Amino acid sequence: MNSRKIIHVDCDCFYAAIEMRDDPSLASKPLAVGGLADRRGVIATCNYEARSYGVRSAMASGQALKLCPDLLIVKPRMEAYRAVSREIQAIFRDYTELIEPLSLDEAYLDVSDSQHFAGSATRIAQDIRRRVSQELHITVSAGVAPNKFLAKIASDWKKPNGLFVITPDQVEEFVAALPVSKLHGVGKVTADKLGRLGIRTCSDLRAWSKLALVKEFGSFGERLWGLSYGIDERLVRNDSRRQSVSVENTFDKDLPDLAACLEQLPALLAQLETRMALLDPTYRPDKPFVKIKFHDFSQTTLEQAGARRDLDSYKRLLSAAFARGNKAVRLLGVGVRLYDLRVKHEQLELFAP
């Protein structure tokens, strides 16, 4: 682990930052990018002025306006955002070819073998932040660490427009004090369960054996054990391609029946469309699917080739999936499989005469 140098770069309120850059009159005003409230729109992102009112990504625009009546909501300009993303990626490539984009506005960089700044990951991150600011007039936050898990946490540590570094000899102390709610994959429900078990920090997690955690949390228990010691062996993969995109919600109270599940679909689909907009154009949406986890933790996933991605199609899928268990539901998810257009292009080149 000590030999790896990973940087996680995350743009600060990316869409909103571009809107404020391109229209300076919007700066310092509460601003969101998303759909209109009268059309059941959803907030894609917002600036920090809006966040101070409690406005958040994936929030219904109507709810956001109740929290912040002066909120300005502008429609997304995806082509503009993609163009800026490509410029940021070009800056990254000046330092390393090992780049794993997570979306338009964030990426992992492995600079372990980079010769820039005598191999200093911290100075590379500083220079990336400087160039993005000077050349593109937006800000990014960055985290530097020996692995992806810690680099991502570090990039959020001093947001916005910050840099945080976790050196190998700081990992032990830093992770020990880390709240378990910060761990990748720990949502509200898991965090609440950990809390009931008296586990609030990674130091608390370390008091449990790997076997005990597996008994409580299944296969995720092993992951929890590793993260509590700052262990993450995942590589930065510049050739990784998504197989699907999805959103899901674990409810504080179980949904009692199919009707209650169907009521949740519009909001979930609005969040899904927001995530779909972040994909690069080398993907094409394919089969829609739904995921249900019932109150007893049994789960099922159902997809259908040739189905449309509209509300009625997802209602039919959800109804059929619910019938497999016909009991209260704790988690609902919706998504779509992706067709990789890049693979098709590469195959045509390979077999072309």
Is 94 marked as binding a ligand? Answer: no
Residues 6+ apart with CB under 8 A from 18: 77, 80, 81, 84, 138
106: annotated active-site residue: yes
Q: Which of 100, 106, 135, 346 is catalytic?
A: 106
Is 296 marked as binding a ligand? Answer: no
- The tokens describing 112, both together, are 């372990």
Task: Give the number of other Cβ atoms within 10 Å of residue 77's Cβ.
Answer: 14
Helical (H) or strand (E) element with 6: strand 6-11
Q: Is the Cβ–Cβ distance between 279 and 242 less than 8 Å?
A: yes
Nearest to 97 by CA among 106, 89, 85: 89
Instruction: Catalogue the E-assigned strands of 72-148.
Output: 72-74, 99-103, 106-110, 140-145
Number of H helices, E strands in the chain: 14, 12
Q: Is the Cβ–Cβ distance between 272 and 336 less than 8 Å?
A: yes
3-state helix vs strand vs coil in the chain, percent to 5:
45, 25, 35
- b (16+ CB within 10 A) / e for 168-194: beebeebbbebebebbeebeeebbeeb
Question: Which residues carry a binding-site annotation?
Answer: 10, 105
Q: What positions carry a catalytic annotation? A: 106
Question: Which residues carry a binding-site annotation for Mg(2+)?
Answer: 10, 105
